[in-house]
Structure 1
Amino acid sequence: MPHPPGDTPVFHELFAAHPRLTDLALAPDGRRLIVSVQRSDDQGTGYVSTLWDVDPAGGREPRLVTGADENVFAPAFAADGTLLFLSALKKADSAGSDSDPQGVALWTLPERGEAERIAHHPGGISAFTVAGGTDTVAYTAGLLPGATDAETHAGLRRERRTAGVNAVLYGASATRAGDTALGPDEPHTFVLRSDHAPVDAGSQGLEGGGDAALSPDGSLVAYTRAEAGRAADTNVVVVADATTGAERHTLSRPGHQYYRLAFSADGGTLVCQRQREETYDTEWRVTLVAFDLASGEETDLLPEFDNWPWPGRAVLSPRPGDGTLWFTGDERGHCPVFRRDADGAVTRLTASGAYSSLCVTPDGAALYALRGTIDSPPRVVRLDATGADQLPTFLDAPGALGPLPGTLTEVHTDADDGFPLRAWLTLPEGASAQRPAPLIVVPHGGPQGSWNNWSWLWNPWPFAARGYAVLLPDPALSTGYGQRMQERGRGQYGGQPYRDLITLTDAALARDDLDPTRTGLAGRSYGGYLANRAATRTDRFKAIVSHAGPWNLEALLNDTDLHAYFLKIFGDPRTRRERYEADSPHLDAAKMTTPMLIVQGGKDYRVPVSQAQGLHNDLRRYGVPVRYLYFPDESHGIGVPNHIRVLYETVLNFLDHHVLDQEWKRPALL
C-alpha cells in the first residue's frame, strides 16, 4: 500500500514537537487557571516547560505567564493567590563560592511582579505541596547519610565532589526505582514558613518519593516513608507536627502501600490511595481510604465499587464539614471522573474520555481537568461537579490538535471463558472492503493498565498516517473491567492475557476492511512481553516489535528494580520452577520464526538491557531475522524528541519491509 503523500513526515514532526499539557492548578479564589505546557527544544534533544494562564470562564485566549522563564513546571497556588512552581532558573548566591549546583528550586510569582526563589537545596527539590489556608509549604529534598540539615548536606556533597567519589553504600533497601538509581541522598520532607527556616519533618526512607500533604492550617504535615526491615510491599504514613517535626501518628497495614495523600478541609481526616499488589494467589486491588486522625481508624471509602478503577489522587471538597470528594478511575476504555458523597454514594460524572489533574472550585460547584482520548491529546475542560454522564466544556488552551489521518471505533467479542472483551481500533483513511488495511496489534504495558488515553509513545496515529489500522486491546489484567478481569489473569502472565489478545485480533480481522494476510504485533513493557510470548507461540504475524519486553523471567527477577514485586507473582525459581516454565518466553526460543525488531533503552532499570540482549542472542542463534534499536541513554520509555522521531521511523520502515513486502529503508540517522 503506498504511503499517503506527505503524511508520515508531518506526523513524525508532530509527535516530537507538539505541545504537551501536563499539570493544572486553580487559584484559591477560582480566578486563575494555570496549565503547564511542554515543548521540544530547538535542537530536539529535550523539552522546555512553560506556564500558561487559561481563562476559567472561557472568555479570553490563553496567555503565557510572564516573569517565569522556560523550564518552569509543577504549578500550584498559595493561599493568598501567589503562584508557586519548580524551576532551575539561575539566581546569584551572595556567597558565590560554592560551585555545587543547586538544581531545581521553589519559586513564587505574584500576579503582578517578578519571580522570587523562596527555597533551594543542594542537589535540588523534587516535589512540593502547599497548605490551603496559610503560607506554609512543604517540599521534598535529599540529605546524605550523616547530614542534619541543608548546610551539612552541602558540605558532604562538596567533600564527595572534591574526592571524585560517587559510590553508594546500600543496606537492605532497594538500589533502583523506575529509571532512577537510588541514593546516596535520602528524601526528607521539609516544612517552610515565611518567618522560619525550613524544618526537617522527617525522612521518607531511601525509597520515598516525595508524596506529602499539609493540613489547611499548616499545623500538620503527612508523608509516606519506606522503612528498612519492613517488607517491600508495606510503607508507613507519617503525620507530623509541621513546626517541630515530631511524629503524631504512624499508620500502616502489612502487605499494603499508601500514596497520594490529601487532608480534609477541617484537617481532621487524611485521605489516600491504598494499594495491595498482585501475588500469585491474590489480585491487585486499589482503593481510597480515610484515616480519622483523632481515633486512628482507617475506613475504606470504596468498599463496593467493582470498577477496579485504580483511583487517582482524591480531590476533597474545600468546604469544612463537606465529605464530598472526586477521583478518576479506569472504566471500559475510558477514565471518567467520579464523585463520592459523604454517605458513600458514587456517581460517574463523565461517560467518555480520560481525565487527570482535577481541580475543584472554592464553592465546590465546578471542576477543571485535563481530558484526553485515544484520538485527542489532553485539553483543558470544565465540568459541573454534580451532574452525571455530562459532556465537558472545552477551554481555549495550547495543545489542540488538527484532523487525524483516520477514524476510531471499537471491537467487541467474548473470550474463551465467556468474559466480554473490547478494544479500540484506529482505521486509516480509505480502508474498505475493496481496499482492506494491514493491521498492527499493540497491547498496552502494565499489565495493570488500559488503552483509554492519548499516548505520545506507541500512539496509533503515525501508523494510520502510513496506512495501517491499529488494534489497541485490553486483555485480562487490564483495569476498568471489574475485579473479575484481574482474577482471570492472576498468576498467568502468558496465559489468559495472551489468549484474550489473540481472540481480539481474530475479532478485528473478521472485518472486511482489514487484511488478515498482512498483520504485525508491537508492544512495550508488558506489551513487549506479550510480543515475545507471541513470537514463541504463533507465526501468524509477519513482523513483531518488542520494546523493553521481558524475555527471561528468572533473569529478570534478579536484575529488575521490581524484584520484590515479581517474586510475589512468580515465587522463588528454586522452588516454583513450574511458574517460570509456564510463562518465560525464552524457554521456547527454538520455536521463533517471525522477524523481530527489538527496542531497548540502556538505562532501563525496570526491564534491563540484559533482557533485550538475551532475546537478540536467541534470535541470532536460531537464524530469525532481527534488528535491534538501542538507545544508550534512554530508560524504560523513549523521552528525547529526536529519539521519538527515530523510533517511529525505524518501526514503520521495519513493518513496511516485512508486513507490506517493501524494500527495507535504513533511517538516515542510523
Structure 2
Amino acid sequence: MLTRPRLSGLTVAPDGSLLVVGVATPAPDGARYRTALWSVDPAGSAAPRQLTRSAAGESAAAFLPGGDLLFTSARPDPDAAPDSPEPPAALWRLPRSGGEAELLLAPSAGIRGVWTAAEADVVVVAAEVHLAASTLEDDAAREQARRDAHVTARLYEPDEYPVRFWDRWLGPREPALWVLDLGAEADAEVADAVEGGVDAEREGAADAERDADPGGRVRLLARGAGLRDTGVALSPDGSTVVTTWARTGPRRSPDDLVTDLVAIDVASGQRRVLADDGRSYGAPSVSPDGSEVVCIAADQGAPDRTPDHTLVLVPLPDAETERLAKPRDLTPGWDRWPDAPTWTADGGAVLCTADDHGHAPVFRVDTVSREVVRLTTDGAYQDLAVPASGSGGRAGFALRSTVATAPHPVALDLDAQEQQPVALPSPGGDDPADTRVERITTTAPDGAEVGSWLVLPVARGKQADTGGRSGAEVADAPGEAATTSSEPLPLVVLLHGGPLGSWNAWHWRWNPHVWAAEGYAVLLPDPALSTGYGRAWIERGWGRWGQAPYTDVMAAVEHVAARPDIDADRVAAGGGSFGGYLANWIAGQTDRFRAIITHASLWSLPGFHGTTDLGLFWEREFGDPYLDPARYLDSSPHLHVGRITTPMLVIHGELDVRVPISEGVTLWTDLVRHGVAARFLYFPDEHHWVLKPQHARLWYETVLAFLDEHLRELPFERPALL
C-alpha cells in the first residue's frame, strides 16, 4: 500500500483530447513521495503515458488554450551552474508538440499555485514576497541578505493573526498573486517598465542561480495577508481574476474570520468587492461567457447555530457597473454541503460534489431552474474537469474512489442520472482483492440512524463479487459472514477527523484494508457531526463533542459486535485529530475496548484554544473559553483521566500546529501519572499527518504491533528501527 501510485490533480486539455494527472510514488531513498505527470486517454483506448521525469517531481498541471502544459517543479535549470543550490518550485512549460520543458518563472519563494485563462495565454501564479519587495528580483535579493546574515527571526503585527497555519510559521513573506502574459512581446522597454529596474537588481544579486523572470513578462497583481489560503479563478479572456480575500485588521472574535469575494482587473490591478455579506466565500469558478461566478458561501456558525454551506451565483460586472447585484442562492433548501463547483461547457449548469450518506457523488445544478440532479450512484469524486470544447460539451471527467477503491480516472455523461461512470485506464495499481466492504446502519439511543462501513477479510477460497470491477467491492447490504478462519474476527473501530467529515472515500493514512489484511474487521462509523446527513445531524453534536458522537459510536460498535463473525470481547478503537479526541473521550467513559490509538489528538480543550493555530475559529462552536468555559470543560477528555484503564498508544508530530505537540505530551504524561499502560510514538519532523513513506511504515508497524499485543495477546514486537 505504501508503494502504490497515488493519483491526484486531474486536469483536462481545453479541447478534451487529453487528461493529465499527478502520480506520486516513493522516491528511491524512501524519504518522500515524488510526483510525475501522466497522460490519460479520455476515450479510454490508449494506455497511460508518463509525461515528466525528474528527481524533484512535478505537480500543479494546468493547460494553456493552445494545449501547452504548465506545471511546477523544483527541478534544476539546465543552464544553471553545477554547484547551484536546490531550487524551490518554479513554473515550466511543456509544448503540446513535444520537446523539452521550458523554464518560465522561478521566484525564490517558490510557486504555490497556478491558474490559466481558457481563451488567452494569461497565467496567474501565487508566490510569496517580502514586505518591502516590489519585484521578484528584489524579493530574491532580500531573502539572500537574510541568509547571509543568518537571520531567521520574524516580527508580527496585531493584524497578522494567525501567525501559524497547519505545519509552519507564517512570514516573513506575505502572499502575492503575479500575472504572466505569455502572449505579450517581451521587449526590453516593456520589461523595464514593469519590473522597475530589473537589470540593476540582477547585478546586485549576481549569485542568484536562476533568473526569476526569464522573459520579463511577469508583474505583481495583488498582495497581502488577505490572499492567504485563497481560491482563484480567471475569466475566459484573462482580463479578470476572481479570488477570495480574507478580511484583515485585528482579529478579536470569530466574526473577524471572514473571507470576501473580490474581482481584480488584470490590466490595472484595481480590486472590486463582489460579495461581503458576512459569509465566507470559497472555490470560485467563472462562467464560460465571463458574466458570472459560482462559488461556495459558508455561514461558519456560532455556539447557538450550526454552520451551513450553499452554492451561489455572483454577477461579474464590467468596470462601468457601479451597483453590484447580490449573490443568488443556487441551492436553497438543499440539505447538503456542495463542494468544488465547476461549470458545464455551455454555462447552463454547475457541477459539484457533496457528501451524502457515506458517498460523495457528483450533482448537476441548473442555473435557471436551480434543480439539483444526482449524476452518480456511489463513490466519492474529486477534481471535476470539463473541457471548454469537444465531446459535444456533455462529457466530464473526475477521479473516483470509494472506501474500497483508490482514486482512478473516470468519464462522466453530464446528461445521465444515477450513472456508473466509465473507468479509464489508470496509472495507479490494483485495488485490494482480499476484503469485502458492507454498509451498516445502527439505531442510536435517541433514535437516529447511524451509518457505517464495515471492512472484512474475504474468506479463504471465496473471492468477493466484484461486479466486473477489480479489487474489493462495496456492498450496500450486509452479506454472508466473511472471515479468514472459523474463529470470529477481532474488531478495530476507526474514528474519522474533522469533525465535519465522513468515511466516504479512499484513505491513505488510515487505510482499513491494512488492518483487514492482518485479519481484523474494521468499522468506520459516521457519528453525529459527520457531513452528508443534513444539518440536523451536525446539530446533534455541535459544541457537545462528548455526547451524541460518543453514543453513536458505541451503538454502532455493539451492533456490529453482535454478529457471529465478530469477537465482541476483542475490540479496539483509534483515530486522528477529532478522531483522536473521540478516542480519548471514549477512554475516559468506558472500559469496553482492549486498546486505544490516539493520533494528533485534542486532550485539554481549554488549553488547546490558546496554542492551536486558529483558536478564534474554535470559538464559533464553543464560545470564549475565558467568559464561558463550561462548553470546553463539559467536552474535555483530560478531566476524566482518572477513569482511564485501557492501554493507549499516543502518536504526535513535533511540527503539528493545528493540534500542537503539547496536547500529545500532556496526554501521555497524564496517562503515565495515573498508571495507564501507555506508549508514545513521536515524530520530530512530521506534522498533523505522517507523510514520509518510511515514517508511514513505522506508524503502521507500531500500531499493528500494539493491536496484536492487546487483541491477540502476542508480545509487543517493537519495530526494528525504533
Using the size of structure 2 for normalisation, the TM-score is 0.87
Residues 403 and 242 from structure 1, CA distance in 2 versus in 1: closer, same or farther, beyond 3 angstroms?
A: same
Q: Is residue 595–residue 624 contact of structure 1 (8 Å, CA) maintained in 2?
A: yes
2:232 is aligned with 1:208 = no
Match of 2:666 in 1: 614
Identify which range, 465-474 or 245-254, moves more after superposition.
245-254
Consecutive unaligned residues in structure 1, runs of 5 or more: 1-14
Measure the CA separation in 1 of the matches of 2:498 and 2:351.
Answer: 25
Task: Give the SS at the match of 1:357.
Answer: strand
Among residues 400, 414, 420, which one is paired with 1:385 in the alignment?
414
Query: Which stretch of structure 1 is more off in the superposition, 589-598 or 268-277?
Result: 268-277
Deviation at 1:578, TM superposition (A): 1.6
- Pairs within 5 Å for 1:394-413: 394-413=423-442
Alpha-carbon distance, 1:250 to partner? 4.7
With 474-483 and 161-170 compared, the bigger mean Cα shift is at 161-170
8 Å contact 2:88–2:108 — kept in the other structure?
yes
For 2:35, what is the secondary structure of its paired residue?
strand
In 2 relative to 1, CA 208–270 (structure 1 residues): closer, same or farther, beyond 3 Å? same
2:282 & 2:7 partners in 1: Cα distance? Answer: 23
Instruction: Give 1:367's aligned residue.
Output: 396
Shift of 1:277: 2.1
Q: Aligned with 1:377: secondary structure?
A: coil
Using the TM superposition, give the Cα deviation of residue 228 of structure 1 relative to its aligned residue in structure 2, in angstroms. 2.3
**What's the counterpart of residue 484 of structure 1?**
536
Offset at residue 418 of structure 1 (A): 1.4
In the alignment, residue 261 of structure 1 is paired with which amino acid? Answer: P
Corresponding position: 1:219 with 2:239: yes
Residue 346 of structure 1 pairs with residue 372 of structure 2: yes
Alignment of 1:167-206 (within 5 A): 167-171=153-157, 172=159, 173-194=161-182, 195=184, 197-205=217-225
2:76 is the counterpart of 1:106: no
8 Å CA contact 1:191, 1:243 repeated in 2: no
Match of 2:384? 358
The CA deviation string for residues 324-378 of structure 1, in whole angstroms up to 9 with x for no partner, is: 1101111100010000112201110001111111111323211111000111100
**2:52 and 2:58 in contact (8 A); partners too:** no
- 1:400 shift after superposition: 3.1
2:64 corresponds to 1:78:
yes
Displacement of 1:188 in angstroms is: 0.7
Whether the 8 Å contact between 1:421 and 1:475 is mirrored in structure 2 is yes
CA distance in 1, matches of 2:165, 2:433: 36
Question: 2: CA distance between counterparts of 1:24 and 1:187?
Answer: 25
Following superposition, the deviation at residue 528 of structure 1 comes to: 0.2
Q: Is the 8 A contact 1:238 1:250 kept in 2?
A: yes
1:333 aligns with 2:358: yes
1:443 correspondence with 2:495: yes
SS in 2 for 1:507: helix
Structure 2 counterpart of 1:519, from 566, 571, 581: 571
User: What is the deviation of 1:56?
Assistant: 0.8
Q: Does 2:269 match 1:283?
A: no
Deviations 1:24-55 (A, max 9, x none): 11111111111110001112100111111111
Counterpart amino acid of residue 268 in structure 2: T
Task: Give the match's secondary structure for 1:569.
Answer: helix
Moved more, 342-351 or 428-437: 428-437
Deviation at 1:491, TM superposition (A): 1.5
Matches within 5 A, 1:295-306: 295-306=324-335
Tell me how far 1:248 sits from its aligned partner: 3.3
Contact 2:246 2:257 in 1 (8 A): no
Mark the CA change 1:451 to 1:521 in structure 2 (over 3 Å): closer, same or farther: same
Q: Which moved more, 1:612-621 or 1:104-113?
A: 104-113
Matches within 5 A, 1:552-571: 552-571=604-623
CA distance in 2, matches of 1:66, 1:292: 39
Contact 1:442 1:473 in 2 (8 A): yes
Amino acid at match of 1:241: D
AA in 1 matched with 2:246: A
Amino acid in the other structure paired with 1:567? E
Please say if 1:238 is aligned against 2:256: no
- AA at the equivalent of 1:315: T
Moved over 3 A (4+): 66-70, 96-102, 429-434
The whole-number CA distance in structure 2 between the counterparts of 1:394 and 1:187 is: 39
Question: Distance in 2 between the 1:20 and 1:644 partners?
Answer: 14
Gaps of 5+ in 2: 187-216, 318-323, 460-481
Q: Any idea what SS the aligned residue of 2:127 has? A: strand
Question: Cα–Cα, structure 1 residues 154 and 97, in superposed 2: closer, same or farther, change >3 Å?
Answer: farther
Query: How far is 1:207 from its partner?
Result: 6.3
Q: Deviations over 1:470-491 (max 9, x none)?
A: 0000000100011111111111
Q: Distance in 2 between matches of 1:100 and 1:519?
A: 52
List per-residue Cα deviations over 1:385-432 (Å, max 9, x = no partner): 111110111111111324432211121112222121110001123445
Take 2:665 and 2:52, find their aligned partners in 1: how far apart are those partners?
48
Corresponding residue of 2:190: none
1:264 to 251, 262, 287: 287
Instruction: Evaluate the alpha carbon distance shift between residue 591 and residue 66 of structure 1 in structure 2; reply closer, same or farther with a 3 A threshold.
Output: closer
- Tell me if the contact between 2:76 and 2:87 (Cα under 8 Å) persists in the aligned partners: no
Amino acid across the alignment from 1:211: G
Superposition pairs for residues 650-665 of structure 1, below 5 Å? 650-665=702-717
1:338 maps to amino acid: F
Per-residue CA distance 1:240-276 (angstroms, 9 max, x = gap): 111221113353222x222211111111111212222
Q: 1:206 to 1:252 in 2, by over 3 A?
A: closer
Alpha-carbon distance between aligned partners in 1 of 2:516 and 2:6, rounded to the nearest angstrom:
21
TM-superposition CA deviations, 1:549-575 (whole Å, max 9, x none): 100001110000121111222222222
Question: For structure 1, which segment, 626-635 or 405-414, has the greater mean C-alpha deviation from structure 2 after superposition?
Answer: 405-414
Q: 1:567-578 maps to which residues of 2 (within 5 A)? A: 567-578=619-630
**Structure 2 CA distance for partners of 1:68 and 1:344, relative to 1, 3 Å:** farther
For residue 70 of structure 1, report the CA deviation from its aligned partner.
Answer: 5.3
- Counterpart of 1:442, as a letter, is L
Whole-angstrom CA distance in 2 between matches of 1:568 and 1:586:
22
More off after superposition, 337-346 vs 66-75: 66-75
Aligned length: 650
Going from structure 1 to structure 2, the CA distance change for 1:546 and 1:393 (only over 3 Å counts) comes to same
Does the CA-based 8 Å contact 1:336-1:355 persist in structure 2? yes
| SS class of match (1:447) | coil
Aligned CA distance change for structure 1 residues 467 and 98 (closer, same or farther; 3 Å)? closer
Contact 1:189 1:204 in 2 (8 A): no
Structure 2: distance between partners of 1:38 and 1:67: 12
Q: In structure 2, how many angstroms separate the alpha carbons of the residues matched to 1:180 and 1:252?
A: 29
